[in-house]
Amino acid sequence: MIKSELVQIVAARNPHLYHRDVENIVNAILDEITDALSSGNRVELRGFGAFSVKNRPARTGRNPRTGETVFVEEKWVPFFKTGKELRERLNPGMDDEEDDDAD
């Protein structure tokens, strides 16, 4: 799903809102998540998951085409951890099996 599809779905579920307003709302939410992550904060959406930023230290890598050794600089990358409700929806019945194994 791309952002425009998300806007269309939200607008269809909320016919009392103008399409441009829904687009502004979706953009505002994504901008706030981006701003929080760029500030080093964590964003948690209960039942869905949590966005955070992790540091990848500098390392020596390899160019796959030439085999040449290259230096890869330190970088910060976004990380997403799914929430319990999302995991349960993606894997129905998995928790029942885990509970049986725990006995």
Examine residue 18 and state whether it is found in any structural domain, yes or no.
yes
Q: Has residue 10 been placed in a domain?
A: yes
76 in any annotated domain: yes
Q: How far is Cα 103 from Cα 51, in angstroms, rounded to an integer? A: 33
The DSSP code for 47 is T
Note down the domain range covering 81.
3-90
Distances in Å between the alpha carbon of 102 and those of 95, 97, 98, 99? 11, 9, 6, 5
How sure is the predictor about 94, in pLDDT bands with cuts at 50, 70 and 90? confident
Lowest model confidence (mean pLDDT) among 24-28, 44-48, 91-95: 91-95
CATH number at residue 24: 4.10.520.10
Q: How many domains does the chain fold into? A: 1
Does a structural domain hold residue 73? Answer: yes
- Average pLDDT for residues 17-25, to the nearest whole number? 96
